[in-house]
Amino acid sequence: MNWSRFYFITILLCSVNLCYTQVTGRHQHMFDDAIQGYQGLNEQAELFFSRGNEALKKGSYYEAIDDFTLAIGFEPEFAKAYNNRGVAKRKSNDREGALSDFSEALKIDPNYAECLNNRGNVKLDMKDFTGAIEDYSLSISIDPKQEEAYNNRGLSRMSLRDYQGAINDFSLAIEINRKFVDAYNNRGLARYSLKDYVGALNDFTLAIDIDPQFSMAYSNRGVVKVKVGQKDSACSDFSRAIRLGNMGAMDNKRKYCN
């Protein structure tokens, strides 16, 4: 289920705006909508779990929280209901509540790789970068094919200024999925931070080749082009990003293209 492509956080580097992307479920389920491994599941729990998932898909987070809570009331060891309630709480900005629910799910099922990734995302939100790395690493050890976990661990490492470690993680994500545009974008930003401008340009261009509507990559590529003296081409990238709806590129265009 395609829950959410990404959300982005704008960071300031060298007085220029660049954006990176944290993946919360573009290629894997952010939440579980299948009931597997639960023999003899209470019918009421199943009903409220399914209804909660429908509310979650529609963005009705408080309704989803209520339904998952009812499901848990009928099945107190229902790890997927705790996970999904955690997702809904995170989406409604209750990070502490989300952290608690993910941790409760992991008490029931310590090998719940997706839940570890979700808990890592909350820790990343809360700037607990070391804790996030621990959760992503555990998730990867259980399921090594999670490109999102590598991507998000890379973001955590980048936040700790471990740019080479971040590049390694983004590269591992790309090995799993050669069309993972978010990982190319993020690796480009890490390379920019190491002053590898050729590598950064290449990564942003690869992201654009895969997804020509990826406005963030145009804006980021424009930033690098400014750095290497390609002003006219940079301004074209900023304009393209703006036409695609990236208003953050407007500041760069005002600064460098007038």
In tens, the pLDDT along 192-210 reads: 999 999 999 999 999 999 9
Provide the token pair at 230: 């390609």
What's the whole-number mean pLDDT along residues 116-136?
Answer: 97
Q: What's residue 242's pLDDT?
A: 96
Identify which of 58, 110, 104 has the alpha carbon closest to the alpha carbon of residue 78: 104
What is the third-level CATH fold of 7-214?
1.25.40
* Distance of alpha carbon 199 from alpha carbon 243, whole angstroms: 26
Q: Where are the domains of the chain?
A: 7-214
Long-range contacts of 37-41 (CB under 8 A, 24+ apart): 38/75, 38/78, 38/80, 41/75, 41/78
Q: What sign does the dihedral 56-62-65-66 (CA atoms) show?
A: negative
The CA distance from 181 to 179, in Å, is 6
pTM for this prediction? 0.86
In angstroms, the CA 184 to CA 123 distance is: 23
pLDDT in tens, 76-120: 999 999 999 999 999 999 999 999 999 999 999 999 999 999 999
